[in-house]
Structure 1
Amino acid sequence: MSKSSDYRGRFAPSPSGPLHMGSLIAAVGSYLDAKSRHGTWLVRMEDLDTPRCVPGAADNILNTLTNFGLISDEPVMYQSQRTSAYQDAFDQLFRDGRLYPCACTRREIADSALHRGSELIYPGKCRAGLADSREARSWRVRVEQTRIKFTDRLQGQFAQNLACDAGDFLLKRADGLFAYQLAVVVDDAEQQISDVVRGADLLDSTLRQIYLQQLLHLNTPTYMHFPVAVNQQGEKLSKQTRARAVEPDNAAATLCKVLEFLGQSPPASLRKKTALLAWAVDNWRPEILSGHRQRTV
């Protein structure tokens, strides 16, 4: 666990729509973990996937966070402004022989990929080089038969053999955009993030990110993945499942609901969001959530 003065955490929303309850839970959880240890809390806007970004959504998210008293301690970082940093990391991996071009279309991958649950695992069709007349569409990182593991503060030991469980994953997409896995690793290093607090749906991504950190000789943060917020049907709250936007007009009641989801029990006498947030910082006990992968809102 990081020393209090060294703690640097972050919340990194994607501006593909307004903030919903699942995202607010991630924001509040990461904020409480940082502030309870007198650390620094940052906001990073993951607007790298420009085709999915909704005009005005980034400002809307920041305004909603502010309404809940969640304000970044440093200027907000925007991934869309950091292409050169991702290119530098990509070039380093290329020089080290860690990357290869891939000519496969989505249809080809779907037809030949291995399956692990709902996830497609790329079978390495282009690993040995492109077939004649095929042109590169994207770039992948080679993964080895190596077991990557880490100890999560809530979920305990988590490990995978990436070659079997993930395959060679994308670092640069067919549309020329850098992949999330590369961007988040570069950004966490740039912002000197010591602790990553987010939902358990990103546990698999964490192992890929640790692998990239090792290849790029970057520090690995401490991770804590709390339960994913799901609806009554067991679906993760997201824009795809039509999760409703957070209504900032009733911030105190919404914040109470978030804290209860996070296992905290604020006194009924607290009616103002500022008092609730201060109480939550002083009484933050994330260990209550240990072992839970999802909870219903």
Structure 2
Amino acid sequence: MSSKLGGFLSPKKHPLKKFSLLAVLVFSLSPLISKSSEPEPLRSIGISVADLGNPYFVQLVESATAKAQALSQHPVKMLIRSDAYDLERQITQLNEFIEQDVDLIVLTAADEYKVAPVVARAQRAGIKVIAVDVNAQGADATVTTDNVQAGVVACEKLAKKIHYRGNLVIINGVSVSSVIERVAGCKSALNKYPNITLLSDRMNGTGSVEGGMEAMTYLMEEYAHIDAVFTINDPTALGALRAAKQAQRSEFVLASVDGSPIAKKTIKENNPWIATAVQRPALLAETAIEIGVKLLKGEEVPQRFILIPSVLVEKN
């Protein structure tokens, strides 16, 4: 009887041992299990920029995408949109990003202030918002070119080239912070030279080749002689150059802001375009993504407004 009882009880000891061994194994592996099951902070990004026909914004998007993939252990879903400087279109895009439950939004604001309500809505949904190139009210962080400095160095170059005297025109653009600051920087440089006359600063070239052509055509019809032209970006400058060529006008020198590949190439050729203040869209985008990932991880980001200085590329 006792031997049967012993034989009956003995199998119960083995499950207990197995259970104890399994518990120890699970406990010892629990740090590894919890680490591998930690949620990936960056799964998807929504990007809304002004104009994907502009090489500057194309490079910004490509650099943001590459940086996001490099910082994530898993593929990052990228939602890329162009608002064409249209606020309502951008608001629709940002609402789409919110509905898609992205982790991070990177935007060049169509309107610095009017975009604030949808930025706040995104933040209430737990989405971090990083402004790039243009300020956006209420964004978690902002990374832009030092646009005032860019305008200063470009117009200082023009002033020097025309020996600090003559007639200068500015082909302006849409009313966003980057454009406003570039024009302000240019004017601050010109204010030091009383013999330079600013003939016009109100023509809106819309930041495009076509707009630059239209604005420059009007200015050449309005003014018989122009010594210098400042445009707020490279596509506008390219349009102005084409209009001048068609009108057989070449008495002026031209400078811009962007530093696009086509600008650098054209500046080397025999034409009035003498300089462009180079923006660094790759650095802007990479910095924005790095800050966004840190914020998603709950890390401290002491500097939330970052200015990247431009460098002047000149003829010769």
TM-score under structure 2 length normalisation: 0.32
Higher relative contact order, structure no. (Cα contacts within 8 Å, ≥ 6 residues apart): 1
- Considering fraction of residues, name the structure with more helix: 2
Rg larger in structure:
2
TM-score under structure 1 length normalisation: 0.34
